[in-house]
């Protein structure tokens, strides 16, 4: 009989090495997969992981794709550490796009360097407002923030849909549901010429550093870690769980809102009925792959972004179907979970030891 037995002390080194092992195992499984499909594995892996990064434009696109994942992933990771399960970052992102994009449309005729900062601030407020709803309901009525934040995502999508189908529709757009294109004053400055890499990427890197500092160097960060690992110990120490719920949710809302306005004022350039291919949800995966550590999240975001770029590239250069990208991402997560299990547990073969039975009946 096969069973899992908890290890007394999971190895610290292994916790950080497990994503590396998982990536290695995914590559091995990928080689098998491609050989079965009749595609030379070397070509396929090259198309997936190397070719997208072989030009400066490719590198800048990696940054563009990873920016929303970094911003949201880092913020969610802090919440997850404090046992605050914000599943609705997608909705907070959408509200950020609505608030930030709304300011951009409101100031459509204004050509001032203050338009963009106003949009970014409005977007953070919008995201925080949306995150405040689950925070209030959780701290006041003990409602599950998982359900509330998740369901508010759909409300946010419909709100955006209403706005671009109605009041914010481009007057010269044949009634198609999209806003006007933002003017230069409402568009994010580009870091490299002839690319789409915008200052949002720099903002995301700043958030990584700030989050690392808060978590490891401040009292709040310490409280988050204590409450997350031992809620009762935190309570005895006089840490307010409610305060942390508010703080982590508002921070995630602000970060997701920022990600939203960065998408619409950066690569998209206007408001559309759908502005994100699920970054708010992908960021949950990214947060865990990155071990809930800001730098880990940064690396995980880049890896996840690379897998999307690689998927597109494999379709173009090798005519591989899109489903392969999905299988590949799924493999990576599966391997990561498997490695995690084996770090915390060891496999035992044989009947259950009688000592445990005796302990249970005693």
What is the binding site for another protein (CB under 8 A)? 54-57, 59, 61, 64-65, 157-158, 161-162, 165-166, 174-177, 181, 196, 263, 266-270, 272-277, 308-309, 312-313, 315-317, 319, 321-322
Q: How far apart are CA 122 and CA 253, in angstroms?
A: 12
Tokens coding 245: 């719920």
Q: What minimum distance in Å lies between the beta carbon of 260 and another protein?
A: 11
Contact yes or no for 58/52 (Cβ under 8 A): yes
* Beta-bridge partner residues of 190: 198
Q: What minimum distance in Å lies between the beta carbon of 184 and another protein?
A: 14
Q: What minimum distance in Å lies between the beta carbon of 146 and another protein?
A: 22
Q: What minimum distance in Å lies between the beta carbon of 315 and another protein?
A: 5
- Nearer Cβ to another protein, position 83 or 157? 157
Q: How far apart are CA 64 and CA 201, in angstroms?
A: 7
Tokens coding 8: 């007394």
Q: What minimum distance in Å lies between the beta carbon of 309 and another protein?
A: 8
CB within 8 A of 4, min separation 6: which ones?
Answer: 341, 345, 346, 347, 348
Q: What minimum distance in Å lies between the beta carbon of 266 and another protein?
A: 8
- Nearer Cβ to another protein, position 141 or 174? 174
- Nearer Cβ to another protein, position 157 or 240? 157
Helix (H) or strand (E) holding 6: strand 2-6
DSSP characters for 266-292?
III-S--S---SSHHHHHHHHHHHTTT
- Nearer Cβ to another protein, position 24 or 330? 330
Helix (H) or strand (E) holding 250: helix 241-263
Q: What minimum distance in Å lies between the beta carbon of 264 and another protein?
A: 9
Residue 99's closest CA among 77, 73, 130? 130
- Nearer Cβ to another protein, position 64 or 95? 64
Burial of 278 (0-12, 13-18, 19+ CB in 10 A): exposed
- Nearer Cβ to another protein, position 44 or 211? 44
- Nearer Cβ to another protein, position 227 or 320? 320
Helix (H) or strand (E) holding 349: strand 345-349
Q: What minimum distance in Å lies between the beta carbon of 56 and another protein?
A: 5
Contact yes or no for 79/85 (Cβ under 8 A): yes
- Nearer Cβ to another protein, position 182 or 251? 182
């Amino acid at each position: 009989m096969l069973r899992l037995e908890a290890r007394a002390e999971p190895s610290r080194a292994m916790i950080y090495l497990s994503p590396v092992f998982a990536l290695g195992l995914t590559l091995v499984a990928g080689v098998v997969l491609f050989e079965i499909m009749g595609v030379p594995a070397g070509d396929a892996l090259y198309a997936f992981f190397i070719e997208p990064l072989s030009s400066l434009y490719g590198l800048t696109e990696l940054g563009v794709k990873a920016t929303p994942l970094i911003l949201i992933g880092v913020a969610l990771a802090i919440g997850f550490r404090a046992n605050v399960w914000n599943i609705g970052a997608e909705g907070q992102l959408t509200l950020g796009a609505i608030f930030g994009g709304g300011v951009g449309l409101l100031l459509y005729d204004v050509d001032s360097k203050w338009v963009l900062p106003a949009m970014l601030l409005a977007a953070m407020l919008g995201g925080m407002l949306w995150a405040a709803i689950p925070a209030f309901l959780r701290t006041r009525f003990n409602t599950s923030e998982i359900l509330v934040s998740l369901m508010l995502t759909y409300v946010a999508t419909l709100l955006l849909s209403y706005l671009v189908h109605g009041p914010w529709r481009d007057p010269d757009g044949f009634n198609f549901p999209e806003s006007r294109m933002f003017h230069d004053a409402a568009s994010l400055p580009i870091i490299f010429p002839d690319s789409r890499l915008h200052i949002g990427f720099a903002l995301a890197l700043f958030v990584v550093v700030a989050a690392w500092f808060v978590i490891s160097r401040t009292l709040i960060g310490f409280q988050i870690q204590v409450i997350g690992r031992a809620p009762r110990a935190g309570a005895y120490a006089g840490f307010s769980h409610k305060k942390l719920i508010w703080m982590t949710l508002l921070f995630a809302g602000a970060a997701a809102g920022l990600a939203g306005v960065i998408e619409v004022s950066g690569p998209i350039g206007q408001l559309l009925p759908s502005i994100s291919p699920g970054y708010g949800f992908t960021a949950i995966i990214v947060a865990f792959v990155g071990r809930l550590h800001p730098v880990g999240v940064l690396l995980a975001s880049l890896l996840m972004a690379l897998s999307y770029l690689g998927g597109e590239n494999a379709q173009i250069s090798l005519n591989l179907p899109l489903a392969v990208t999905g299988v590949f991402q799924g493999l990576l997560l599966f391997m990561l979970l498997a490695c995690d299990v084996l770090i915390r547990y060891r496999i035992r073969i044989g009947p259950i030891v009688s000592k445990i039975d005796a302990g249970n009946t005693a």
